[in-house]
Amino acid sequence: MEVAGVDGSERCRVRVWFGDHVVADYSAEAELAARYAEAMSRRFAGLKVTSEPIPVTDPSQYRSLPGERLWEVAPK
């Protein structure tokens, strides 16, 4: 299974938990996700913070939108 972002970098999902409830959910390239997890662990010292890789079966899942052309609407 592949774990990759647009540029081929690994992506991770970070969650901050309050008991069984997710109070923050963030995904990014592994380096940014690690920094976010570290910051959230300091800020919310009593809460569980998890980080896990995001499995990707279709790399196109992370492609950005092609641009503003999608949102152009001709006046009637």
Residue 6 confidence (pLDDT) above 50: no
Distances, alpha carbon 67 to alpha carbons 10, 37, 54, 59, 70, in Å: 24, 31, 25, 19, 6
Residue 62 confidence (pLDDT) above 60: no
Task: Name which of 17, 70, 25, 26 is nearest 48 in CA terms.
Answer: 17
Residue spans of the domains in the chain: they are 1-58
The distance in angstroms from the start CA to the end CA of the chain is 48
Task: Give this prediction's pTM.
Answer: 0.64
Confidence of residue 42 (pLDDT cuts 50, 70, 90): very high
52: tokens are 């896990």
Confidence of residue 20 (pLDDT cuts 50, 70, 90): very high
